[in-house]
Structure 1
Amino acid sequence: MPPLSLYIHFPWCIQKCPYCDFNSHAVKTGIPEMQYVAALLADLRADLSLFDTPPSIHSIFMGGGTPSLFSPAALQQLLAGVKQLADLSSNCEITLEANPGTFESAKFQAFRDLGINRLSIGIQSFNDRHLKSLGRIHDAEQAVNAVNIALRAGFDNLNLDLMFGLPAQTQAEALADINTAISLKPTHISFYQLTLEPNTYFYKFPPKLPEDESIFALQKACQRILARNGYRQYEISAYAKPGYQSRHNRNYWQFGDYLGIGAGAHGKISRTLPRDIIRTAKPKSPEQYLKQDYPSTLFGANSSSRETISIEQLPLEFVMNHLRLKEGFNLDDYRALTGLAPETLEPALTECLNQGLLIKHQQQVFCSEQGWDFLDEILEKFIP
């Protein structure tokens, strides 16, 4: 079976950003921390009942929302409960997402003392004008201070989130953001384009964005700076120093398994290949999630859902994840993780090879430079 990760979703934020399509909700009357932690652990216990023997978890990612709104006491109780229910690998990567507006020195020192060994900070930009247009609650100075607080707390595995293609953003401003981020010496940078997603404020009231050609040019310019400074692109929007790729996110892209607990969390579990690979989804509403009676309502009506990935859909599901990685995939891994023969990738695979969109070297298949820019067109060919 593939490696197993654990994703824990925290659905609360101080305020909802206009571009955000994640399951997040502005805090109104306080967060029921301990009640939510108890629900998370009951949720995890129910998910673990799907396994014949207790699995080993090799990475944990606490995302949101804003997990750093929770107190160290609440996260201590949560992580202690996780360790009681499941075996954690000796080098388990434990990531906490945080926003600069929630940083306090003592709090983040306590997070590090809990064994959280990777921090992901949602900077988005170091430009006050752009931060304001994005609805962020912090300014550029607070963003820099947050990184310094994290470093002083001992976080030597640190990701910064940056966005590009912002309303009225110039190439010079995008380059300034990248250079500022690099000067802070994070080990990982997530650099991704602002998109207008359905069910967001920006989708309903779209801001004026730069032209596609301008966005593409500034992206390439920023990528060259990242490469010159030792940040290797290993995924569409992920750049890392050697040895610091996100193990948790790589597991997603390598079609690994993961449990998803918390309001709106999704999971994928391989039970019997190829006929019993399931995806799970938890109730999105925090109020409804807290009302769940685990495990009696697991996958019952109006609670969690479970869907089996059809054999016909497996080739698309596999390549849709793996081709996000620069290294692509190995045909032996395709057989091992899906239970299907490589021939089930045909005729789409041969068509992409003939068109120069994909390259095959021995058993390894990956995007060409041209294919990297036309990934959506590649994936369309694998749709059953």
Structure 2
Amino acid sequence: MNRYIQYMYSYPHKTAYRPLQNVNLGDYMGNLEGEGHGLYLHLPFCESKCGYCNLFSAAGCGKAYMDAYLDVLPRQMKQFREILPGSTVFGSFTVGGGTPLLLDAKQLERMFLAVRQDMPLKDNCDIVIETAPKQTDEEKARLLKEHGVTRVSMGIQSFVEEELAWLGRYHDGRQAQKAAELLTGMGYACVNLDFIYGLPGQTAESLLYSLRRAVSLSPDEIFLYPLYIKHGVRLEKDGKAAVLDSDHTGRLYQSGAAYLKEQGYDQVSMRRFVKKKGSVCPGGEYQDCGFTGSLALGCGGRSYLGRLHTCASYRTTRQGILQEIEEFREREDFCSVTNGILLSDEEIRRRYVIKQLLIYPGISKAVYRDHFGAELTEAFPILLDWIRQGWLEETGDSFLRLTEEGLSLSDYIGPQLISEDVRRKMLEWERSNGREDDFLQGISEKL
């Protein structure tokens, strides 16, 4: 069994999105009434593209190009503000990419002020931003603090120089150490550090070396990501895309997870480990994350508005991404939806189960029954099979949650819940992009 089929960070995947006509955001903004929803801004710029990255981001864009991108945001936000419900107050604001801190301090200041001016953020809004070691300096770190940032996430991936070189990262262990020390000393509510396992030649000893150095910095969270190599990424072009050993990767996961739990971190998903301290990290509390909505600013982020999920067309090449950014810059009407998916009742149920089941404390059978009018295990009998296999367990408060073994199989379990319709659309996208015979790690033969 291949444990590593697909990371189900959202559902449906963007490869299931299609062109849409006669769909307007205004008809779905009612899903953002009140508080508790999220605002997301995508800054699709990086100094360089990491060897494994297939995200919507482009390297080599200069300051003037990024300024021109920022120029568009007030116009987009003005149009969105006109159709937002009057009661909308965003409880969280996330800035992702890309590497948002590639922007210089003046650009970051401009971005924060524009969003504060044009979007309704809660007074004590959780503000989250991503960074990389080479882009993290004291001036920017202090600016983030001044603008109320509560969580900073930085991708280190490894403290082993040979592993960083293999991954195509452009920082070294010394730079990562310095940046992490700066962030953990700034007094943010939450600092997260990301690491990758599953590299060819990586050992439990080398992984634990990186994690020991990470723990010594006392971050509030540590994320452990298995390595996925998708078609088109630099690792593939460099001839490093051999199918990775699922069993070996699984053993590395077990070593890393066991160590972090020994060091006082609670595991709340396959990837996320949170320091035991009554965490105040954004997202640390229980959430019905299948119900909340999100509005995306910029180009490349996804909006989740009830049945409507929308995003720019899924692109993985630099040329395609720059084309989407150019269309974004020239766009006049940001409220007309041109690409996305309208979820059926079945897909809404599947999304809720996938999103809730893969995190602790799991999925509430009572909440599912109240919201969908059906029993969870009758709607998804495969859950009973997973209970018999020891991957799921029922807790005393009527939650179904993954066992320790089930948690380690999250990237196998999640994809089993993909509907046949979404699976078909994903396969159509694979075929249309010349990837029908894609058996690289992370791509299930069924997908």
Structure 2 residue aligned with 1:323: 357
Provide the C-alpha distance between the structure 2 equivalents of 1:86 and 1:251, rounded to a whole number of angstroms. 23
Provide the C-alpha distance between the structure 2 equivalents of 1:200 and 1:351, rounded to a whole number of angstroms. 36
2:131 and 2:154 in contact (8 A); partners too: yes
Provide the C-alpha distance between the structure 1 equivalents of 2:60 and 2:400, rounded to a whole number of angstroms. 45
Query: Once the two structures are superposed, what CA deviation does each residue of 1:305-329 show, in whole Å capped at 9, x if it has no partner?
Result: 3422111212221111112203111
2:270 and 2:408 in contact (8 A); partners too: no
| Structure 1 range deviating more: 153-162 or 175-184 | 153-162
Provide the C-alpha distance between the structure 1 equivalents of 2:409 and 2:184, rounded to a whole number of angstroms. 38
Provide the C-alpha distance between the structure 2 equivalents of 1:90 and 1:27, rounded to a whole number of angstroms. 36
Which of 239, 261, 280 is matched with 2:297 structurally?
261
Structure 1 residue aligned with 2:183: 150
Provide the C-alpha distance between the structure 2 equivalents of 1:31 and 1:365, rounded to a whole number of angstroms. 51
Provide the C-alpha distance between the structure 2 equivalents of 1:249 and 1:294, rounded to a whole number of angstroms. 37
Structure 2 residue aligned with 1:273: none
2:286 and 2:361 in contact (8 A); partners too: no
Unaligned runs of 5+ in 2: 1-30, 314-320, 421-447
- What letter is aligned with 1:291? E
1:117 and 1:157 in contact (8 A); partners too: yes
Structure 1 residue aligned with 2:234: 201
Q: State the Cα distance separating 1:166 from its structure 2 match.
A: 1.6
Q: State the Cα distance separating 1:29 from its structure 2 match.
A: 3.8
Q: State the Cα distance separating 1:139 from its structure 2 match.
A: 0.6
**1:305 and 2:339 matched:** yes
Structure 2 residue aligned with 1:211: 245
Give me the identity figure in percent.
Answer: 25
Provide the C-alpha distance between the structure 2 equivalents of 1:248 and 1:280, rounded to a whole number of angstroms. 27
Query: Once the two structures are superposed, what CA deviation does each residue of 1:301-350 show, in whole Å capped at 9, x if it has no partner?
Result: xxx434221112122211111122031111343356x6553457243444
Structure 1 residue aligned with 2:68: 35
Structure 1 residue aligned with 2:391: 357
| Structure 1 range deviating more: 194-203 or 91-100 | 194-203
1:148 to 1:31, Cα distance in 2 relative to 1, 3 A: farther
- What letter is aligned with 1:228? E
Provide the C-alpha distance between the structure 2 equivalents of 1:332 and 1:294, rounded to a whole number of angstroms. 42
Query: Once the two structures are superposed, what CA deviation does each residue of 1:82-114 show, in whole Å capped at 9, x if it has no partner?
Result: 223333223311111111111222232122212
1:165 and 1:194 in contact (8 A); partners too: yes
1:335 to 1:210, Cα distance in 2 relative to 1, 3 A: same
Structure 2 residue aligned with 1:287: 326
**1:371 and 2:406 matched:** yes
Query: Once the two structures are superposed, what CA deviation does each residue of 1:255-288 show, in whole Å capped at 9, x if it has no partner?
Result: 4211122221112112xxxxxx211113552222
Provide the C-alpha distance between the structure 2 equivalents of 1:203 and 1:93, rounded to a whole number of angstroms. 37
Query: Once the two structures are superposed, what CA deviation does each residue of 1:280-302 show, in whole Å capped at 9, x if it has no partner?
Result: 1135522222112134x621xxx
1:72 and 1:111 in contact (8 A); partners too: no
Larger relative contact order, structure 1 or 2 (CA cutoff 8 Å, min sep 6): 2
2:190 and 2:281 in contact (8 A); partners too: no
1:30 to 1:51, Cα distance in 2 relative to 1, 3 A: closer
Provide the C-alpha distance between the structure 1 equivalents of 2:108 and 2:286, rounded to a whole number of angstroms. 24
Q: Secondary structure at the match of 1:123?
A: strand
Which of 356, 381, 390 is matched with 1:347 structurally?
381
1:98 and 1:122 in contact (8 A); partners too: yes
- What letter is aligned with 2:136? F
1:70 to 1:42, Cα distance in 2 relative to 1, 3 A: same
Query: Once the two structures are superposed, what CA deviation does each residue of 1:153-188 show, in whole Å capped at 9, x if it has no partner?
Result: 443521111111123212111010000000011111
Provide the C-alpha distance between the structure 2 equivalents of 1:288 and 1:315, rounded to a whole number of angstroms. 34
- What letter is aligned with 2:404? E
How is 1:1-384 mapped onto 2 (pairs within 5 angstroms)? 3-204=36-237, 205-207=239-241, 211-242=245-276, 243-247=279-283, 253-270=289-306, 277-282=307-312, 284=321, 285-295=324-334, 298-299=336-337, 304-334=338-368, 339-342=372-375, 345-361=379-395, 362-375=397-410, 376-377=412-413, 379-380=415-416, 383=419
1:223 to 1:146, Cα distance in 2 relative to 1, 3 A: same
Q: Secondary structure at the match of 1:317?
A: helix
1:34 to 1:319, Cα distance in 2 relative to 1, 3 A: same
Q: Secondary structure at the match of 1:17?
A: coil
- What letter is aligned with 2:142? Q
Q: State the Cα distance separating 1:355 from its structure 2 match.
A: 4.6
1:332 to 1:305, Cα distance in 2 relative to 1, 3 A: farther
Query: Once the two structures are superposed, what CA deviation does each residue of 1:38-58 show, in whole Å capped at 9, x if it has no partner?
Result: 323333444455543241111
Q: State the Cα distance separating 1:5 from its structure 2 match.
A: 0.9
1:164 to 1:33, Cα distance in 2 relative to 1, 3 A: same
1:235 and 1:324 in contact (8 A); partners too: yes
Unaligned runs of 5+ in 1: 271-276
RMSD of aligned residue pairs (Cα, Å): 2.7
1:330 to 1:168, Cα distance in 2 relative to 1, 3 A: same
Provide the C-alpha distance between the structure 2 equivalents of 1:24 and 1:190, rounded to a whole number of angstroms. 21
1:371 to 1:122, Cα distance in 2 relative to 1, 3 A: closer
Q: Secondary structure at the match of 2:255?
A: helix
Provide the C-alpha distance between the structure 1 equivalents of 2:310 and 2:284, rounded to a whole number of angstroms. 18
- What letter is aligned with 1:266? R
Provide the C-alpha distance between the structure 2 equivalents of 1:382 and 1:142, rounded to a whole number of angstroms. 41
